[in-house]
Amino acid sequence: MDLINRIYCVLFTIATVLSLTYSIEIPEEFQKSNHSNNWAVLVDTSRFWFNYRHVANVLSIYRSVKRLGIPDSQIILMISDDMACNPRNPRPATIFNNAHEQINVYGDDVEVDYRGYEVSVENFVRLLTGRVPPDTPRSKRLLTDEGSNILIYLTGHGGDGFLKFQDSEEITSQELADALEQMWEKRRYNEIFFIIDTCQASSMYEKFYSPNILATASSLVGEDSLSHHVDSAIGVYIIDRYTYYVLEFLENVHPNSKRTMSEFLAVCPKSACLSTVGVRRDLFKRDPDKVPITDFFGSVRPVIITTDPIDILDTPKRKKKPENKTKSPVKREYLPQFPVHLVPNTKTG
Amino acid sequence: MGLLSDPDVGSVKWVRVLKRVHGPVCFLCYVGALVWFVLLGHREFNNETYFSENALLPGLVTNEFNAEQTANQYFNELHSELQTNYEETDEMPVPWLVGMMSHIHLEVYTHNFTLRYPLGKGQVFKGTNVYGILRAPRTSSLEAIVVSVPYRSVGSHQKTTVAGIALMLAFAKFARPQKYWAKDIIFLVTQHDQLGMQAWLEAYHGLHSEAEPFHASLGSFWKPGTPKFTMDSFLPNIPFRGRGKKPLNPGTLKGRSGSIQAAILLEFSSPKIKYVEVKIEGLNGQLPNLDLVNLVHKLCQKSGIHHSFGKSYSWIRGRDSMDDWKNGFWTMFEMMVGQIDGVPDGNHGLFHRFGIEAVTLEGRDEMDPGGKVPRVNTLSRCNFYKLGIALESILRSLNNLLERFHQSYFFYMLASTHRFISIGQYMPSLCLLCVAMLIRALSLWVTTLQQDGDYNDKQTNKTNKKPSKHKLEKAKDSDSEEPGEQETKEVTKVKTPEKKKADINMSVLNIGVNYLLVHLIGYGVMNSPFMMAYYGSVYYMKPPEVSVYFGIISIAVLLIFITPFLPYLLRKGPISYEELSLVNILVLTELATVCLSVAMQNFSLGFAMAVIYTPLALMTSVHVRGSGKARACLQLLKRLVCLLVHPLVVLLVCMVAYSRHLVADESWLATLSRGSDAAMQAIMFSVVDSMLYGNWLFNLSTSILLPIWLIFWQILNIKVNAP
């Protein structure tokens, strides 16, 4: 009896201690993300009409990412071929990702940064590592820093240890791993979420050795990633299985949702995908169960919280101008390009 | 490893083994080859067909073809047009076609061509093709697909193609407003069957009438003014090939499109057909890419049309594997028999040479020319709707192509509509035949070497002990060196290997000249038909086929008598055993090489040649004088066999067998005369085909096969002294 009492006593103390430590921890909702901005690199590496589905894949992801808040300026979209204007397309200037053809994913608000033959291994690696020629416009640069979370999505035709670009060259898994390591050393990212939808996709992330990378692939080595369905009006396979189920999941995610990354990683079971989705967690320090999906798919809004009141100095420059004019007339003057002073809002403000 | 010319070669073990076993080994190779060939029909030895080209996306689109009414209307209109205005004549209803095509808003052009018949008095034929181009609306005209129908007049002995034209026009009308074409579509109606097609293709690819025929001028690489070898420059008074001008003047096209990627030819006499036969065999046995053949079969099936290839019917499945094997073998065999003559079985065959993949879809009824078709009466009849849907899906699939067909097999045989035999699977059977010949050549070579080596050894050891042999040696040497010198050298010192080699090769010049002469004779025979036809028509008033036929027979008979004496032209003494053996080795090697290289392009022809001539090649041996009565009898028998496989005799036998097959209940005499007539026609056709289209068969059999046969004949007819 004594022994049992003692055991109860010990158990009770342990429980108390546990409950105490728990109450000391910051609740999950208050756990802050450690990144300051979000970027996305979305790449379709294959050209030709019969690879319509890859373009549809990448444009669908683009649409979701943009809807969840990453602005166009922080999305690098690389598309190898122009399916919308392909003469074989019976629906000119559109690209659909579903046989119901409800959403044209190639709407007016799509900004393709690298298109056609610009999508090459060299450009892709230069983009990641930031070693671009000096005259490269900002829209074609990955201007990330050590606080950036990057979503990398690749789709195309792959094999064991390589991904084909443009039917003419390939990037090997080692090259990709080295590029990511260089990014880490150059402090170009905080965390990377790497998604790849190709055949034998998992071979691409097996060589990664840089920290803070969470990777998932549509199929394991030796498996093919399959297409989901045919749009018989257009006459092509319209989307790949993995991306189809990813989209189905993402459609129910909104900027404030509390979905976690582990939900995303389990999005396509083998019964649906017909291939095994591969995941690599060992380089990623956090627990995917606790990482909100918006850490990669959403965007951090640049909000600064301050307790000090801010003096907004009222500097009515426009009012000064006529005063100056009356005081000392200037002979030469630039005409205002737009008669801003005539707009009622600015006048009052 | 020792050299083959090593003097000690006789003592090497493998040489002794080879000499002992080469006979049975060759026989085994021959039998093995035939067994392998028969096995090719079996499932284990062939494969299921599959698509290699990703871009085709076969049958993914929903079919929208809705012009069945239009097709029926065109069909009736054209029918009545032909009944009223074109009943008697051979002409094509050009105005009607042009009118209909312009009404659909195609770019319509006509194309005129002229044929000056190369043989006889040089009759002139004229013809017209009509074609309309549907321009791809959203891309430049860099690529095109051809849909073509050969026009056949009402009085033609072949089935008309009225339904084909109606279907094509209806499809054109349907396709014109569609916006998804990435390639132009050329709708073409040709006259005079293959002639019109050939003319149109040559004109499309810019081959001029001044150029030599396609096969002689490397096609479009020829430029006017390029110096070329012609017989005319040597013998200006004898009319060879019509003064270097091509018999077919293709004229020029007024409108062109881009490079043609594929062509579909339609031969339908009525929409109410029972099934569609897919014809693939092209000129010189060339075949379209297997992807296209698969595509057509698959889309026919998808459109609910019964389809067939040879003896393989889509609606018949074998009961067991034995049945499958039998069907597979006969389908393959029939395809090969069709390929041997190298004549295309439809207009599609002329496209292949231009690197364009093409097939013909022929509509067939219960009344099939090839014999009774099983369970054909149970099939439902086809209609324009189904045919239109099949055509639409084939063309939309071709429209998806990004490059020319290149992924799948070009060299294959079909065992059924859905099973094929690749080049890697059928080549071993031919290789076995050629290996048999080469083993025979090798064993002859080592035998010759060894005999020579033995003889020299004996001579150096026991000089002057055998005067008879010594004399023989002298006689052998008489051409190259003074006998006395030779003798002293031989007596004084042991011969070096080079010296022995010189002994064997010393008469190479004589053999070589004879060899070359025989081949030149073959070249002459190849060029003779024009002359024969010319003189036949001028002096004997005979039609060209008769004069060519009898001319060639008389030349053949003449050669049989002359050629055994040819080697004596340049020499005084008798021919030695070694010389004749060397000729034998050479001709064996040549035959094996020819069979293999011909089979690379036309396997059926190469294989047939090998099967027929390998027995002759294996049994031909140098006849030694005074070797007994039995041997002499055997030699006589060999000569008889040799005569039996003379190219002309083979042709005659084939034709007689074919006539017997067609008309079974006839007396043998009648069959013989029918066969002889058929042979006459066959020779004429092969000559004309060779001149117009560049068919090889005639050239190959006269300039290569005939000389090889003549040399075998020489070997069998020359007696030599024992070595």
Amino acid B238: pLDDT = 53
Q: Are residues A185 and A334 in the same domain?
A: no
Residues of A in contact with B399 (CB under 8 A): 88
Assess whether pLDDT exceeds 80 at residue B435.
yes
Q: Are residues A209 and A330 in the same domain?
A: no
Chain B's closest residue to A85, CA to CA, is B138
Q: Beta strand pairing status for B357-364 and A236-240?
A: unpaired
Q: Are residues A90 and A229 in the same domain?
A: yes
What SS3 class is residue A185? helix
Could you give the number of structural domains in chain A?
2
What SS3 class is residue B111? strand
CB neighbours of residue A90 within 10 Å: 15
Residues of B in contact with A233 (CB under 8 A): 61-62
Higher pLDDT pick, A293 / B625: A293
Tell whether A91 is covered by a domain: yes
Q: What ipTM was reported for this prediction?
A: 0.78
Which residues are registered as beta bridge partners of A192? A150, A213
Give one DSSP letter per residue of B243-271, joined into a string.
GG--SEE----S---SEEEEEEEEE-S-S
For the question of residue A228 being annotated catalytic, the response is no
pLDDT digits (tens, 9 = 90+) for A155-208: 999 999 999 999 889 999 999 999 999 999 999 999 999 999 999 999 999 999
Q: Are residues A44 and A168 in the same domain?
A: yes
Which residues are registered as beta bridge partners of B112? B128
Residues of A in contact with B402 (CB under 8 A): 48-50
For the question of residue A157 being annotated catalytic, the response is yes
Query: Nearest Cα to B277, choosing from B306, B245, B250, B236?
Result: B306
Q: How far apart, in whole angstroms, are the C-alpha atoms of residue A53 and residue A60? A: 10
Using the beta-carbon criterion (under 8 Å), do B61 and A233 form an inter-chain contact? yes
Task: State what percent of residues in chain A have pLDDT above 70.
Answer: 80
Q: Are residues A275 and A323 in the same domain?
A: no
User: What's A102's DSSP letter?
Assistant: -
Amino acid A164: pLDDT = 93
Tell whether A61 is covered by a domain: yes
Assess whether pLDDT exceeds 60 at residue B230.
no
Give one DSSP letter per residue of B538-583, joined into a string.
HHS---HHHHHHHHHHHHHHHHHHHGGGGGGGG-SSPPPHHHHHHH
Confidence of residue B497 (pLDDT cuts 50, 70, 90): very low
Amino acid B564: pLDDT = 85
Residues of B in contact with A49 (CB under 8 A): 55, 182, 400, 402
Give one DSSP letter per residue of B441-505, joined into a string.
HHHHHHHHHHHHHHHHHHHHHSTTS-HHHHHHHHHHHTTTS-HHHHHHHHHHSPPPHHHHHHHHH
The verdict on B84 touching A (C-beta cutoff 8 Å) is no
The parent domain of residue A266 ranges over 37-295
Q: Are residues A291 and A334 in the same domain?
A: no
Given the residues A35, A54, A85, A199, select the one marked as catalytic: A199
Confidence of residue B530 (pLDDT cuts 50, 70, 90): confident
Query: Nearest Cα to B563, choosing from B603, B532, B519?
Result: B519
Tell whether A205 is covered by a domain: yes
CB neighbours of residue B285 within 10 Å: 29
Tell whether A303 is covered by a domain: no
Place of tokens 């001044």: B210
Q: Are residues A227 and A326 in the same domain?
A: no
What is the pLDDT averaged over residues B684-697?
87
What is the pLDDT averaged over residues B103-117?
91
Amino acid A340: pLDDT = 57
Question: What separation in angstroms does the CA of B398 have from each of A158, B97, B328, B402, B637?
Answer: 26, 25, 29, 9, 58
Chain A's closest residue to B181, CA to CA, is A88
pLDDT digits (tens, 9 = 90+) for A84-114: 999 999 998 899 998 898 889 998 889 999 9
Domains defined for chain B, CATH in brackets: 1-47+436-506 (no CATH), 54-209+246-417 (3.40.630.10), 509-723 (no CATH)
The residue length of chain B stands at 723
pLDDT digits (tens, 9 = 90+) for A118-153: 999 999 999 999 999 999 999 999 999 888 999 999
Amino acid A206: pLDDT = 92
Query: In angstroms, what separates the C-alpha of B594 from chain A's closest C-alpha?
Result: 40
Selected for mutation to probe chain B from A88, A94, A230 (highest B CB count within 10 Å) is A88
Amino acid A133: pLDDT = 92
Q: How far apart, in whole angstroms, are the C-alpha atoms of residue B700 and residue B225? A: 28
pLDDT digits (tens, 9 = 90+) for A267-284: 888 888 899 999 999 999
Q: Are residues A264 and A343 in the same domain?
A: no
Which residues are registered as beta bridge partners of A237? A230
Query: In angstroms, what separates the C-alpha of A86 from chain B's closest C-alpha?
Result: 8
What is the pLDDT averaged over residues B77-101?
89
Residues of B in contact with A92 (CB under 8 A): 138, 179
Cα pseudo-dihedral A25, A28, A32, A34, rounded to 10: 90
Most confident region among A21-30, B314-323, B336-345 by mean pLDDT: B336-345
Residue A166 backbone class (left: φ over 0; alpha: ψ -120 to 50; beta: rest): left
Residues 659-718 of B with CB under 8 A from A: none
- Of A35-49, B116-130, B443-457, B550-564, which range is least confident? B443-457
CB neighbours of residue B643 within 10 Å: 13
Amino acid B477: pLDDT = 42
Assess whether pLDDT exceeds 50 at residue B458.
no
The verdict on B60 touching A (C-beta cutoff 8 Å) is yes
Amino acid B531: pLDDT = 83
Q: Are residues A230 and A343 in the same domain?
A: no
Assess whether pLDDT exceeds 70 at residue B671.
yes
Amino acid B463: pLDDT = 41
Chain A's closest residue to B397, CA to CA, is A235
Copy the structure tokens of residue B69. Answer: 């009414």
Amino acid B632: pLDDT = 86
Amino acid B494: pLDDT = 42
Residues of B in contact with A230 (CB under 8 A): 60
Using the beta-carbon criterion (under 8 Å), do A230 and B60 form an inter-chain contact? yes
Measured between CB atoms, which of A48, A86, A230 is closest to B55?
A: A48
Amino acid B1: pLDDT = 46
Asked if B608 and B704 touch (Cβ cutoff 8 Å), the reply is no
Assess whether pLDDT exceeds 60 at residue A251.
yes
The residue length of chain A stands at 349
- pTM as predicted: 0.82
Residues 160-179 of B with CB under 8 A from A: 178-179
pLDDT digits (tens, 9 = 90+) for B330-343: 999 999 999 998 89
Query: Nearest Cα to B605, choosing from B336, B417, B259, B236?
Result: B336
CA angle B148, B153, B157 (to 5 degrees): 105
Query: Nearest Cα to B187, choosing from B72, B78, B108?
Result: B108
Give one DSSP letter per residue of B89-104, joined into a string.
-----HHHHHHHHHHT
Amino acid at B685: F
The verdict on B180 touching A (C-beta cutoff 8 Å) is yes
Q: How far apart, in whole angstroms, are the C-alpha atoms of residue B485 and residue A37? A: 103
Q: Are residues A154 and A92 in the same domain?
A: yes
Question: What separation in angstroms does the CA of B62 have from each of A44, A234, B35, B302, B361?
Answer: 27, 8, 47, 11, 22
CATH code where residue A65 lies: 3.40.50.1460
What is the pLDDT averaged over residues B641-655?
91
Amino acid at B400: N
Given the residues A9, A35, A85, A157, select the one marked as catalytic: A157
| Buried-state track B193-221, b at ≥16 Cβ within 10 A, e below 16 | bbbbbbbbbbbbbebbbebbbbbebebee
Confidence of residue B378 (pLDDT cuts 50, 70, 90): confident
Assess whether pLDDT exceeds 60 at residue B488.
no
Q: Is B685 exposed, middle or buried (0-12, 13-18, 19+ CB in 10 A)?
A: middle
Average pLDDT, chain B: 83
Using the beta-carbon criterion (under 8 Å), do B180 and A89 form an inter-chain contact? yes
pLDDT digits (tens, 9 = 90+) for B597-614: 999 989 999 999 999 999
Higher pLDDT pick, A305 / B366: B366
Assess whether pLDDT exceeds 70 at residue A315.
no
Q: Are residues A291 and A325 in the same domain?
A: no
Higher pLDDT pick, B721 / A347: B721
CB proximity list for B128: less than 8 A, separation 6 or greater: B92, B94, B110, B111, B112, B113, B191
Residues 82-101 of A with CB under 8 A from B: 85-90, 92
Assess whether pLDDT exceeds 60 at residue A18.
no
Confidence of residue B71 (pLDDT cuts 50, 70, 90): very high
Work out the angle between the directed axes of helices B668-692 and B544-562 (0-180°, nearest 10): 100
Using the beta-carbon criterion (under 8 Å), do A90 and B181 form an inter-chain contact? no
Query: In angstroms, what separates the C-alpha of A233 from chain B's closest C-alpha?
Result: 6
Tell whether A17 is covered by a domain: no
Q: Are residues A163 and A235 in the same domain?
A: yes
Q: Beta strand pairing status for A157-159 and A148-155?
A: unpaired
Query: Nearest Cα to B57, choosing from B398, B289, B470?
Result: B398
Using the beta-carbon criterion (under 8 Å), do A235 and B60 form an inter-chain contact? yes
Selected for mutation to probe chain B from A50, A94, A167 (highest B CB count within 10 Å) is A50
Q: Is B35 exposed, middle or buried (0-12, 13-18, 19+ CB in 10 A)?
A: exposed
Residues 219-248 of A with CB under 8 A from B: 230, 232-237
Selected for mutation to probe chain A from B63, B135, B138 (highest A CB count within 10 Å) is B138
Q: Beta strand pairing status for B719-720 and B412-416?
A: unpaired
pLDDT digits (tens, 9 = 90+) for B6-35: 556 556 788 888 888 888 999 999 999 999
Q: How far apart, in whole angstroms, are the C-alpha atoms of residue B414 and residue B333? A: 9
CA angle B561, B567, B571 (to 5 degrees): 135
What is the pLDDT averaged over residues B665-672?
83
Work out the angle between the directed axes of helices B577-601 and B603-619 (0-180°, nearest 10): 160
pLDDT digits (tens, 9 = 90+) for A28-62: 554 566 788 899 999 999 989 999 999 999 999 99
Amino acid A13: pLDDT = 62
Measured between CB atoms, which of B60, B138, B180 is closest to A232?
A: B60
Using the beta-carbon criterion (under 8 Å), do A92 and B55 form an inter-chain contact? no
Selected for mutation to probe chain A from B53, B62, B389, B406 (highest A CB count within 10 Å) is B62
Tell whether A22 is covered by a domain: no
